[in-house]
Structure 1
Amino acid sequence: MKTISKTKISIGRHVEEIDCTGKFIVPGLFDAHIHLAAIDLSDVDRARGATDKILDNMLRHGITTVRDMGGNAPYLAQYKEDII
């Protein structure tokens, strides 16, 4: 049996350390069926604002990955480009 030594990690003063001993942790939730890009795109800036609010809300609730089930592909491609 191999023993792994604990590594000290420096945590900044604005970081809250949470003891998760004995808990199950997931890196993020996956919403595999959304229709994010099926909105009115006649005003792209307004649409981006609305989409940003939706994505921000999802992220705040633990959803880190989404799969759009049908919408404007170029609109979604721009979001993908912005992330990369």
Structure 2
Amino acid sequence: MKLKIKDLRNGMRRVDVTGKILEISEPREVTSRYSGARHRVATAILADDSGKIKLTLWNKQIDQVSVNDTVQIENGY
């Protein structure tokens, strides 16, 4: 279901959103409680004409986007 950022609500699943990356934090390392694996994670700010949200980027996703890129999130939650 394609939505504007202003229409997103906590707990929604399988949503599609398109927006522009305004900023990306420095990646940090976290360790999974379940598997013990180490992962890189960063927080991006995604915006459209209706608002802004935080977007969590994991591992390879961090290197696949840059500030000012327009991205489409599919099946997000």
Larger Rg: 1
TM-score range, shorter chain: under 0.3
TM-score for both structures, normalised by structure 2: 0.22
Higher helix share: 1
Higher strand share: 2
